Amino acid sequence: MNIVFAGNYKVFKGMLLGALSIIKHYKDKVHFYILTMDLQEVDSDYITVSEENIKLLESVVKEVNNDSRVTKIDVTSLYVKTLLESPNSKTRYTAYTLLRLLLDKIPRIPNKVLYLDTDVLAFNNISELYNIDISNYELAGVKDRYGRFFMGPCYLNAGVLLFNMKKIKETGLFKKCRDYLNKKKVFLSDQTAINKYVKQKKILKRRFNEQKKVKKDTVVRHFSMQFRLFPKFHFVNIKPWHKQRLHNEYKCHHFDDILEKYETITKEQL
């Protein structure tokens, strides 16, 4: 199984939590690919995931299966070459959200990978998602909770995507996305670009990217931003590591064992 995370040092906690949730249910070999970059001249927080954190993550996954691996891929130069001047490189979201669009330019990335945002936790065995046959598709994903109403009925959420990299290279999907984002500023840039240019997509049931509330058959819970209408319109952005807010506002205790494991590890190691 090949899993891709992308981000800077600030979201390593999400990568670690995500990995802990995956290996709780899946005991076979996993290869985690960490896409990161260092662009402190653009933003002081654009600091790469450290080698120490990579070693920590690898030690954690190897406790379950010694054949599992973690590979850090620094894409700084590739990003600078292809997307730095994009009008979408500076939005409310960090530039790291665009890194998934570079996967086709990285030779060591295998033909099939599961991309996960760093606010995603597995609730059941994620191999049920990974093993879905997408040989005739560029990618597979779940409809976005809000986007399907406002952006189109088949608009996918990009936080959990199963990629057929061989097919993507053939169709030039990511190149089309990069070219598009280099020309104009786009709302929800990478997600909208993928939805605009993907031609061969498999739409999955929401349990493979549950964006609201955990159910018994949920495979992946994605803690994406939500909005509330009452008492007045406002956004709610609770992430997996916000333990008390998960309890108090979402009434979510499904991942308490993962959070406890995370707290033990980070207290000892970080």
**CATH top class, domain 2-222:** alpha beta
| 43: its two tokens | 């933003």
pLDDT tens-digit readout, 65-93? 999 999 999 999 999 999 999 999 876 77
Q: pLDDT band at residue 237, thresholds of 50, 70 and 90?
A: confident
The pLDDT score that the predictor gives to residue 84 is 94
Cα-only R_g, the chain:
18
Which of the given ranges, 150-154, 231-235, 246-250, has the highest pLDDT on average?
246-250
Query: Mean of the pLDDT values across residues 203-224?
Result: 95
Q: pLDDT band at residue 224, thresholds of 50, 70 and 90?
A: confident
Q: pLDDT band at residue 45, thresholds of 50, 70 and 90?
A: very high
pTM, 2 dp: 0.93
pLDDT tens-digit readout, 177-192? 999 999 989 888 899 9
The pLDDT score that the predictor gives to residue 262 is 95
Contact 74, 39 (CB under 8 A): no
Lowest-confidence segment of 41-50, 104-113, 145-154, 242-251 by average pLDDT: 145-154
The pLDDT score that the predictor gives to residue 94 is 86
Token match 């990285």: residue?
106
Domain range summary for the chain, segments of one domain joined by + = 2-222
By C-alpha distance, which of 217, 8, 181, 220 is closest to 87? 181
Q: Is the pLDDT confidence value at 229 over 60?
A: no
Beta bridge partners of 114: 3, 162
Query: Mean of the pLDDT values across residues 157-167?
Result: 97
The pLDDT score that the predictor gives to residue 231 is 65
The pLDDT score that the predictor gives to residue 187 is 86
Q: Is the pLDDT confidence value at 108 over 70?
A: yes
Q: pLDDT band at residue 234, thresholds of 50, 70 and 90?
A: low
Q: Is the pLDDT confidence value at 255 over 70?
A: yes
